[in-house]
Amino acid sequence: MTQPASSRTTVVLDGSNIVHGGKSSISQDPDGNRLISAIGLYESKGYTVLPCMKGGTYFVMSGKAKNMPKAPGYDALEALAKNKELKVFSKDDDLHIIHLALSRDAWIVTNDTFEDLRDKETGEIIPRERTNYPELDWDLIDEMTWGTCRSGVRAYADDTWKIDGQKFLHPTLKTAPKPIFGDENTEIRKTIIRLGTTLQDIVRLSENGSEQMAWINVEARALIQRQRTMAKMVPLPTIPDEQGLSQRTVSELKVICDFLGIKKSGLKSAIIERILESREVGEESGNEERHNIQIALEPWEIGAIIGPRGEIIQQIRADTGTWMGIDNESGILRISGAQEAIEKARKLVEGLLEDRREEKNKAEIDQKKREAIEKAKIEEKKQEEMKKTKSEPKQTKHFAMLVADELSQTPSKDRPSDRDSLLERIEQMRNELWEAELNSSILNWLSQKKKISILGDSMQTITYDL
């Protein structure tokens, strides 16, 4: 259920990629201020920002890793993580970022192409997301990504965004489309976001400064906590009324349909009618007291609840008489209705989630098996190389003795007189009995065993003692 690219109002940040400076950075040392700068830039343009980071990167930046100092800007990232505003994934961070963006129909900010890599030591191809998960819509993912482009069959990193010191730059970035759910609190919501951006800048600029700057840093951090409290106090925007809906474009109305999990095809008037009906579901349930619950969903769980074309969520609503909607920004499933109806809907949702978790666990187990098999193949190849290396000295001695025996039976006047001609003779004797790479080793063995002596003249003349 994707909206037009111009309608996207959410960005998912690949924090690990950004803190290291992306593809164009001269210094790849991590700096958390780069990610803070990126968050501030996108929020100032009206986007909802979902920063993510690999757990290993976060740990290394903390200064707790051996011989690694605490990275600049780590304290700011730690504060975000504690408030669950920075998502830290212990593994598969790239896959989480992709699914999060797909579930929220958000932009992905990264220079990572998700293409296969080649191991520098073994030369083995290391399969990555594009190979491991061919079922994903990679054309869509490429279209959603700020920081890569396609050329032929491969994706490459580009300069959509750059890092300049601690600053994150996105020169072509435009203001986010107007919120689908606008209300009278829109301006104060934006102002509080701008306040948070300013406070984060103060934290960054006062880091590692004088004693006075340290106090400013402490005060700014305290104010950030209060700014977040204010942000949470602002009521969430609501679905527009009939007049407000009539002012929306068909594309914007379809986004609201996605949020509600209802059919979005048809004429504009029919779409508006369905949205209004959805708002009223359960509101005329007699004198029963209405209740509300919220269920936090992981990005990969949202699809299980919505279903193809919204069929699953619509069926649950019809079966239970509840109103249900998924917040596209927070991933929160909201259910409203009578207590008994809500409980029925909750059990249905939990059953679906349990099935999806089992599928995910099975997929992870299968992936681990594939990785184990691949690792075993690499290890087997290394062991073969080691055996080959260990056996080379014995092979060299064996073949060198064959060469020495043949040379001993060759009249002195017919023996090679210099190093190069002896190597040519050894190559003639080889006759595929040994690898050509052993020729030099055979000559060195003959020299070490005093079978031959190589003089230091320009021709490297050889004398024999066979």
Q: Is residue 210 part of a domain?
A: no
- The reply to whether 88 falls in a domain is yes
Indicate whether 379 and 450 sit together in one domain: no
Shared domain check, 434 and 365: no
Query: What's the pTM value of the predicted model, to 2 decimals?
Result: 0.53
Q: Can you give the three-state secondary structure of the chain, one letter per residue?
A: CCCCHHHCCEEEEEHHHHHCCCCCCCCCCCCHHHHHHHHHHHHHCCCEEEEEEEHHHHHHHCCCCCCCCCCCCHHHHHHHHHCCCCEEECCCHHHHHHHHHHHHCCEEECCCCCCCEECCCCCCEECCHHHHCCCCCHHHHHHHEECEEEECCEEEECCCCEEECCEEECCCCCCCCCCCCCCCCHHHHHHHHHHHHHHHHHHHHCCCCCHHHHHHHHHHHHHHHHHHHHHHHCCCCCCCCHHHHHCCCHHHHHHHHHHHCCCCCCCHHHHHHHHHHHHHCCCCCCCCCEEEEEEECCHHHHHHHHCHHHHHHHHHHHHHCCEEEECCCCCEEEEEEEHHHHHHHHHHHHHHHHHHHHHHHHHHHHHHHHHHHHHHHHHHHHHHHHHHHHHHHHHHHHHHHHHHHHHHCCCHHHCCCEHHHHHHHHHHHHCCCCCHHHHHHHHHHHHHCCCEEECCCCCCEEEECC
150 and 250 share one domain: no
Residues 19 and 108 in one domain: yes
Q: What is the CATH number of the domain that holds 319?
A: 3.30.1370.10
- Report pLDDT for 226: 85
Residues 96 and 144 in one domain: yes
182 assigned to some structural domain: no
- 134/81 same-domain check: yes
Please give the tally of structural domains in the chain: 4
Chosen domain end from 280, 307, 331: 280
The residue from 361, 390, 419 where one domain ends is 390
User: Are residue 165 and residue 112 in the same domain, yes or no?
Assistant: yes
For the stretch 398-430, pLDDT in tens is: 888 888 888 888 888 889 888 888 998 898 888
Q: Are both 86 and 171 inside the same structural domain?
A: yes
Establish if 403 belongs to a structural domain.
Answer: no
249 part of a folded domain: yes
Is 399 part of any domain? no
What is the rounded average pLDDT of the residues 86-109? 87
Q: Are residues 382 and 267 in the same domain?
A: no
Q: What is the per-residue pLDDT across 359-404, written as a single tens digit (0 to 9) for each?
A: 877 877 888 888 888 888 887 877 776 665 555 566 788 888 888 8
Identify whether 286 is part of a domain. no
Q: Do 325 and 359 share a structural domain? A: yes
Domain carrying residue 371 = 291-390
Q: What does the pLDDT average to over 332-356?
A: 87
Mind listing the pLDDT tens digit for each residue in 145-203?
999 998 888 899 999 999 998 999 999 999 888 766 666 777 787 788 778 778 877 88
**Does 402 reside within a domain?**
no
User: Do 19 and 159 belong together in one domain?
Assistant: yes
Same domain, 364 and 260: no
State pLDDT tens for residues 303-321. 788 877 678 888 898 888 8
- Domain end among 177, 195, 230: 177
